[in-house]
Structures are given as structure tokens and as C-alpha cells.
Chain A
Amino acid sequence: MKNLDSVLAAYLAGWAIFFLYYVSVARRMSNLRDEVERLKGLLSKRK
């Protein structure tokens, strides 16, 4: 079928953008959770 590769490329690009964005949000969330734990530990030590 003519242009089928272009159609697949378009769908894959869309799917990849959303997937990578979701992974990036999850990674940033994980980093921030670690930072919260670190800061809480620091504050409790000072008290």
C-alpha cells in the first residue's frame, strides 16, 4: 500500500512523544521524592 510507511511513522512518532513525556514526568517525580526525603532527613537531624 502506497504511503503506509508514512502513516506508521506518524502514529509511532505520536505514541513515542507521549510515552517519553510520561517517562520524563515519572523520572522528575522520583527525583523530587528523593529530594523531599533528603530535606526531611536534614531538618529532623537539625531538630
Chain B
Amino acid sequence: MVKSIIKAVILFALIAATAYIAFNYAPIEKSMGVIQKIFYIHIACAFSAFVAFGTCFYANVRYVFTRQAKADWLGVAAAEVGLMFILVVLITGPIWAHPVWGIWWTWDARLTLTFVLGLLYVSYLLLRSMIEEPDKRALFSALFGIFAFLDVPLVYFSIRWWRTQHPQPVILGGAGSGLEPRMRVAYLLMWGALTGLLILLMNARYKLEALRASVEELRREAEVQ
């Protein structure tokens, strides 16, 4: 417990430090000004959410083929943590958009598909809460999780496939894209810190699910006796 608290304090301090670097080391973007600083947390959280949902997809496929409870625990841990990261994306995006576009939100392909992605993983968690029988719950949610993941590539490629209000990619965007070197350093540091946080949160949530399974087993045992 003390170890987890120390790790959390270090990671939250690291995020604050990388935010400081984003503010003070990375230059101010010429056309947008200081509001562009939101880029560092917004994009890093989006990539971290994709990593979490990718982990959830892997765990769901693994559960369908192996029926191991550990795969189910990893699936729910990754889904819930990924949802937190996508929530940050959905909050920081409109804060950035309002001064730049003049509107908080528009139903373009990228924004709509990201919103749907959040709703899909909320549904995944709701589905789990509605089924009591553990094996049935794990199988149904794994199948739904595999379906939900289909939205991730759609979100990623939406700005490449369709004309959107959302800007074109600056990371892995091909010729003409890219970041100024100091911006790249600040971005990578922020993403590194957030990936550390992602691992910490997923690990804590996985342990919680393992403990929940123990409680369910003990309850069954208590009912039988």
C-alpha cells in the first residue's frame, strides 16, 4: 500500500514536471499562441487511451480462446483506465477548440467517433454490472469488448479518410507533418509520464478485480456452508 502511494506521488509529480517543461521549454506556437500547450496532454492522453483499449482487446481475445479469469481481469482494468484517458481527451479537446474554432464542439467524424468510443466502453462496464454469473459476464463482455475496439482504428484514421474540422495529424502524419524539436521532446516526456501512470492505474485496477473475484468465491463458500 505504502509502495503504491509512493509510486503514485512520483508519477503525479512527474506529470507536473513534464507539464512545466511543456510550458517553459517548448516554444509557443505562432498561430494559436499559448492555448496550443493543451496539445501535450490532449494527444498524449489519446495515444495512452489507444494503448489501454488495445490491451483490453488483447485480453478479450485471450479470454474468448482460453477462458482464463486473469484475461477477464486485465480486460476490465484496461477498459476502465482507458475510459479515464478518453474522458481527459473529451474534456481538454473542447477547452482547446473554443478559442481556436470559436465553438466548443462539432459533430465531425473525429469528434463523433471519439465520443462514441467513450460510450462504447461505458457500455462495456455497464454490461458487466448487469450480469451476475462470472463466466457469462466475462464471455459477454469480452465479445462486446472485441466489437468496441473496432472504433479505435476508425478514430485514428478518421482525419486521414474524411475532411474534418479537427486538424490533420502532426505525429505520424507523413510528409509535411512533424513537430518542432523542443515540442517533440516535451511531448515525448509527457507521453512517457502518462504511460507510467497508465501502467500504475491498470495494475491497481487489475489487483482490485482479482480481490473482487476472491470476495465472490468467499461469498459462495459462505452460502454453501
Interface residues of A (CB under 8 A from B): 1-4, 6-7, 9-11, 13-15, 17-19, 21-22, 25-26, 28-29, 32-33, 35-36, 39-40, 42-43, 46
Contacts and interface: CB of A to CB of B under 8 A. Distances in A.
A42 to B, nearest CB: 6
- Interface of chain A, main secondary structure: helix
Interface of B: 4, 8, 12, 15-16, 19, 33-35, 37-38, 41-42, 45, 81, 84, 87-88, 91-92, 95-96, 98-99, 197, 200-201, 204-205, 207-208, 211-212, 214-215, 218-219, 221-222, 225
Contacts of B33: 1-3
A42 B34 contact: no
B34 A4 contact: yes
Given A7-B38, A10-B41, A11-B19, A36 B87 contact: no
- Interface of chain B, main secondary structure: helix
A42 B87 CA distance: 41
A29 B207 CA distance: 8
B67 to A, nearest CB: 24
16 contacts: A2-B35, A3-B35, A7-B35, A10-B42, A13-B92, A14-B92, A17-B84, A17-B88, A18-B15, A21-B84, A22-B8, A29-B207, A32-B211, A36-B218, A40-B218, A46-B222
